Amino acid sequence: MMDPLYRFTPWDHVVLGEKLRACRGAMMGLLAVAPPDSETSRIARETIAAVDRLRSEMDCHLQTTRSLRRDPRRLTPHIYAGQTHVSGCLASEAECELDDFAGWELED
């Protein structure tokens, strides 16, 4: 049986990576203001750990399913990891044929 995650496109990975980073940021903000010994704090810590595990799993999937030759700018390591954000940009059809992430660029 084929792994259903193989249907994830580069676009799907970029969007999910951005959302998971935003989720983690929101939980870190909540953790900063919640009393350390509260149930809210405990759940936030568990959520952060779960989001980190999911990001790691999805990053592994991305690394194994995307060919390096289809990522000439080496954006793959930045999709799920780090603080770098990826934003959309214009790309020609010719660029898209050579680069899975042609419609994306790293923000400074």
Q: Say which residues have a Cβ less than 8 Å from residue 61's Cβ, sequence separation at least 6.
A: 5, 8
pTM of the model: 0.86
Residues 49-95 pLDDT 10s: 999 999 999 999 999 888 889 999 999 999 998 888 899 989 999 99
Predicted pLDDT at 65: 87
Torsion of CA 66, 56, 18, 105, to 10 degrees: -40
Which tokens belong to 68? 């390096």
Q: Average of pLDDT values for 21-26?
A: 95
Q: How far apart are CA 80 and CA 23, in angstroms?
A: 12
When the pLDDT of each residue in the chain is averaged and rounded to a whole number, the result is 91
Q: Where does the pLDDT of residue 2 fall: very low under 50, low under 70, confident under 90, or very high at 90 and above?
A: low
